Amino acid sequence: MNDSEILELLHQSPQKGHRALFDEYYSYVYAISVNILRNFGSREDVEECVIDTFTSVINKLDGSAVGSVKPFVGTVAKHKAISMRRALMSKSGKCVSIDSEEICELRSEERVDRNAENSDMTRQLLQKVKELGEPDSAIIIQKFFYGQNANEIGRMLDIKPATVRMRCTRAIKKLRSLLRDFY
């Protein structure tokens, strides 16, 4: 579901719109919250941050127009998580100076928020590949996701390797068109 569909659903049926918003962006908000609250809060703190984020987003979306939902949701999630981290730090009495050597312990090479965005993009890409229909979607998935060549795909789908190559070329052109229209 895209942003305009969610906004339209919010106007038509707020309850369904809220559910669609939550379903679409839960993983994204959770990833941002985990990334910021890592080493500061518990799982319950992260979940509370996610709930606070959606409460703020829903209150804002119900009262005014927002152009693009995803950046708005991401910004609210980031601000809520930072506020919660500050609150947790003040409760625990643990404040870390930027000059402290402990600051290196707080950093993680894993970027959960980027991983969530990448998985969201992969999900959308797979949806567009499925729109190609069979056998084109199977050819694209086998070639680019599983690294199989035309001979292997041909044996699997009972199609000549030359046909697999031709269909793959045409499917890629069609996929580019679908993605261009989508983005």
Each residue's pLDDT expressed in tens, for the chain with a length of 183 residues? 677 777 777 778 878 888 888 888 888 888 888 888 877 778 888 888 888 888 888 888 765 556 677 888 888 888 888 888 888 877 766 555 555 444 454 445 555 555 655 677 777 778 888 888 888 888 888 887 778 888 888 888 888 999 989 988 988 888 888 777 665
Question: What is the DSSP annotation of 41-82?
Answer: S-HHHHHHHHHHHHHHHHHHHHHS--S-HHHHHHHHHHHHHH
Do residues 20 and 85 touch, judged by C-beta distance below 8 A? Answer: no
C-alpha 130/C-alpha 133 separation (Å) is: 6
Q: How far apart are the first and last CA of the chain?
A: 14
Lookup: tokens for 67:
């152009």
The candidate with the shortest Cα–Cα distance to 35, out of 109, 87, 120, is 109
Q: What is the C-alpha to C-alpha distance for residues 160 and 163, in angstroms, rounded to an integer?
A: 5
